[in-house]
Every structure is written in C-alpha cells, then in structure tokens.
Amino acid sequence: MVCADPDGDEAVDGATVRGLATELEGHGHVCHLALDPGTLPPPENDDWLHVTSGFALHDSGSSRVLQVVGACLGAVSVDLFLANDDEDVLAHWEVLDPLLQLVGLAGGILFARASDVAALCGDPDQDPVMVGQAWAEAYGLALCVVADDVRVSAVKADGRTTAASRGPEALDREALGQLVGGFLTSYGNNPAGLEAALHGA
C-alpha cells in the first residue's frame, strides 16, 4: 500500500509513488493510493502501508499522513527523500518526529538515502548507518535501511547490521521507490530473510 496526499505536487512526488507502485505491481501486489484513513481498505494479513515522505515533509500533506499512519492496523514504513540540499532541516524534524514516533509504535521501518541522513543529523562526517541505528533505538523502529549509490544497509536498534551492494546507480526518487518496493516484497514474505531482502532492493 502506498499513502499519497491529494494536494501533493505531482512533479515532486509522483516519481516515488510510480517507482514503488511499479515494483509492487510487478510482483503481483496491489498498490492502493489512500487519501485519508476512511479510504483505506480493510487490512489483510500481508498488507503494508508505505508513506513516501516527498509529500509527508510538506505542510499540505503532513497532518493527513499522521492521521493515516495512526489509523493503520498493519505494518508501516516511511522513506526519507529531501528534494534540495538547502531544505529547512528544523522544519522537517517538526514533521518527521511525530511521524517516526507513529512508525516506531507500529514497529515499522525507515528507508533513507545516506545523503539525507547526513543533512538531517547536521554532521556530514557521521556514519549514516550509525545515525540510523540511533534513530531506530530512539523511535522503536524495527529497522533503518540506509542506501547510497553503491550500497544498502539495514541496521537494528541494537546495532546489528546487514549490508549488500547495489548499483552503481544514482538514488533518485524513482530508484528509491524501486528499492523500497523490492525490499518490502521480499521482507514482507520472510522477515527473517534480511539479506535476501537487501539483495532484492
């Protein structure tokens, strides 16, 4: 499942949604575009709600996203993608903090580009995977999946890390959506198969 905001800018958010939807549908899954909690279909056992932060990080979508995630009864994940290097980090954290709290309550997953982790932690010299571990611990996330152009790593709150090579491929919005879709397709079927899920990402 993909959650999308009806007020979002298609030019900004569409690529992520299309990338994830294409990946999920290619594996025989249905992609639901949910506009509010009332439009979500009753969850099945293997349903997964994924939120693309392209719209979640903007005022027009943030309150709706929190409603949808808070109402979700199944598995939840969110991806992190900053459109510009000069975006307001403090403003993003005002949205991300309550969102990650809800994702953590559901034992969910955060997907992030390494460059965006560095931007949000405010220190480009910090290891983005270790920052991901700190976020997983602070919010109660099951995993934080951090990717760059050549590598993707999944880290748990206790520091256990599994990694796999990828690319080399620029990690734009569509590529991030495909990475998320490939990972969730495998991980949703077999949560114990983390390495296989990373190779599918």
Q: Please tell me the total count of domains within the chain.
A: 1
Q: Please tell me the pTM assigned to this model.
A: 0.79
Instruction: Indicate whether 75 pLDDT > 60.
Output: yes
**Nearest Cα residue to 36 out of 74, 59, 7, 77:** 7
User: What gap in Å lies between CA 95 and CA 26, rounded to an integer?
Assistant: 32
Q: What digits encode the pLDDT tens for the residues 118-177?
A: 988 888 889 999 999 999 999 999 999 999 989 999 999 999 999 999 877 788 888 888
Domain that holds residue 126: 2-200
Q: What is the DSSP letter of 27?
A: T
Quick one: tokens of 132? Answer: 């991901």
HSE toward the beta carbon, residue 63, CA cutoff 13 A: 3
- Whether the Cβ atoms of residue 89 and residue 120 lie closer than 8 Å to each other: yes
Quick one: tokens of 62? Answer: 């943030």
Q: What is the DSSP letter of 35?
A: S
Residue 162 pairs in a beta bridge with 154
- Quote the mean pLDDT of the chain: 76
Give, rounded to a whole angstrom, the gap between the first and last alpha carbons of the chain. 17
Q: What is the DSSP letter of 75?
A: E
User: What gap in Å lies between CA 39 and CA 166, rounded to an integer?
Assistant: 36
Domain containing 180 — which CATH number? 3.40.1190.20
User: What gap in Å lies between CA 13 and CA 20, rounded to an integer?
Assistant: 12
- Please report the pLDDT score of residue 60 as a whole number: 52
Instruction: Provide the residue type at 31 as one letter.
Output: C
- Whether the Cβ atoms of residue 164 and residue 150 lie closer than 8 Å to each other: no
- Please report the pLDDT score of residue 73 as a whole number: 73
